[in-house]
Structure 1
């Protein structure tokens, strides 16, 4: 018995949508808020999966793009809650006039637009300069972490303009709706759910299109792609910027539901955790990014509540087990089991998991000396 790959994607999408729509009927207000936050993380994870799973770019700095998007939204919310006066943290820091770069955030539409464009602009600068000079692999990962250190240091040091280590919080309304009201939170949750579905459909389209095939080719044999007439720099910069835009979008939905953003949420540790979401869910699957983000953060919350002293050890053990024994993640492992049971190969299609996608050996993905590339 074989199953159509397209049918599986459609079925999973509808199951995911149905699950998100009925979740408010079974979850308390607190748990629903957590789920909404996890779904915001899933938006970021899908973009990260496109650049890591399909293009072979391991970014350890996506917390920066997430944080920039969140700060752009939070700046608007803070100005609204200040009711025309100077934000409280600025007054405490001795700032006497609203800085010029805060002025555009008085408009919600401009704030949302900048929450997408600012991460894209930063990603374009870093991506173009590094990819043009053929910096990749571990060297690019180190540079992305350097970006995190620079950004966090900047945000912490500029207390009067960014809120410093405390970040931005104490928001009242968004588009006239009180953000603390249960009805508003429910509305934001549903908006997040539909954005997740829209992002999933878009990412699946990209991965299955000609662009997706070129991205996989760039990952597996970048020099060969260059020799046949394609410019890998163009594709890598584009998908990196697209991923940054999704991270900014995730930041918007996060701050609307969480009500706070600080430099700690865009640091090195959160950036590494974002990569782990994709690894645990199944790199190179898109679906796995959603599952990994929700499952990992749910486990983190559950362990921290039940075992406050032991939960970091339990969570770390879970990561080690996945990397050592399930390198393809949750989705990849299920695909292997389905193949073993005779459900693969799909009719006229390949597995959801693209070639070379297992976590083990990711550092060799862009190496043309890899024996797999000489076959």
Structure 2
């Protein structure tokens, strides 16, 4: 038996492990971190190599140790820099992450404990922290019809050169879509689809401002003040260098979604059709909560209702890293750290 099992060894799990260790618990003895991945880095290790953070390193750090400065160029750090940082972070604090351990389910056990069932055995714990994120559950919207060409989700995108000379449809209005459009439009004929006109942040607004805005919104809602709409009230897309360059090339133009897939492409609402070789779905992810199904906690929207990070119907369970509903900006590096601090204080 251990006091706490943390499920997930990405940024949220590591930040939680840091504060558990600082509270006096011994990694590997009093708490364990279980990670399904084979290597450190969480979702950052799966992202395409040219993806950048939205903030300088000093605003992209976990608690205790600041991310080393990025010296590769004048821009923000690449994903590989974050992976290196997270790898060294868990080594620095001896967090003893158990890898290639896939948690299949969490159930209520005897004597008021929770049981964690995994591919490498079972654990009994006084509390469980779920930090599995969303990367393993890419979402693709349903459209009538079928498309015979290539389909790629953000999770499977790697490099623009894979689409050189093609006709590419990019679907989605967020940061991933804008960054991928910026790259692919240099080598392919691109069309961009969004549900509403894309909203670009001012050039001088990055992750630092976004986190503070999200935090202020969370605090305001807690005390019953009017909802400011948070980051969404300011805009959606951070103007990193590649997106600004695409703006200068005049390719950041989006059109209304199509109505149907056809064999060679899509059909628009006026009945006309366009041909494409590839569709890239930059349509987001859903929380990876399948391992918690047996606890019967999900609400109608598919989420688990929480008070802060604590599940309302199972107070031995905490969730972190899934979005603002489990802590302000808790799916970001800096936000995960601040949320983990409050989570461990509650434990």
TM-score, with length taken from structure 2: 0.26
For CA contacts below 8 A with separation 6 or more, give which structure has more relative contact order.
1
Structure holding more strand per residue: 2
Higher percent of residues as helix: 1
TM-score by length of 1: 0.24
